[in-house]
A and B are shown apart, each in its own frame.
Chain A
Amino acid sequence: SQQGEEDPQALSIQEGENATMNCSYKTSINNLQWYRQNSGRGLVHLILIRSNEREKHSGRLRVTLDTSKKSSSLLITASRAADTASYFCAPSFNFGNEKLTFGTGTRLTIIP
């Protein structure tokens, strides 16, 4: 299917710990994005990594991309209660076409 699949489906960790989520996809990509959704709200863009990049940082977020394995990971360091949300990856498969589709996401719960 033309979308990423996030793993695990749900993750609960203690505040202050690191959280890692994974995304797998099936065909070559142009770029891959990660989004966050707080309950009842629209998705918020977190980070975009291009196919020729292997790692990217933004604040407490670290994203890696392994095109040979067709996978990406999102690491949130020093988690906070406010990080509780669902996280989605969105691979972009078509060069010059910005179609965005989403999987079922990873539901992250930070326990205070």
Chain B
Amino acid sequence: DAGVIQSPRHEVTEMGQEVTLRCKPISGHDYLFWYRQTMMRGLELLIYFNNNVPIDDSGMPEDRFSAKMPNASFSTLKIQPSEPRDSAVYFCASSHRGEAFFGQGTRLTVV
């Protein structure tokens, strides 16, 4: 397996634009996590899914953020409209029986 795959690796967008981050988890993993990492706030859990069902989205900062997992092999995190304070590295991770595997992250810059 190629591991958790995230795209794009880098995204620069203007304030107000819609941003969609994508994640392909490892086949057979039943948990999928979205995290945001900044120097100020560290590594924050935004939302996680179990068997494609959102379990806890209490970390999603605002209604501007939404996440979906339409099937076991794909998830998206959408920000609409984006703001400069959304600039961060966004990580996706998947797990089965505890051990989580992380993607390389998407570095988002909102100008």
Contacts and interface: CB of A to CB of B under 8 A. Distances in A.
B102 A48 contact: no
A22 interface: no
Contacts, number: 57
B98 A41 contact: no
Interface residues of A, number: 22
B102 A42 contact: yes
A92 B4 CA distance: 21
Interface stretch (B11-19, B40-48, B60-68): B40-48
Interface of B: 4, 31, 33, 35, 42-43, 45, 48, 50, 55-56, 89, 91, 93, 95, 97-105
B48 A99 contact: yes
Given A98-B97, A103-B42, 4 more contacts: A45-B101, A98-B31, A99-B55, A102-B42
Contact of A98 (B43, B89, B98, B101): B98
A90 B43 CA distance: 12
Interface string A74-112: 000000000000001010100001111111110000000
B93 A42 contact: yes
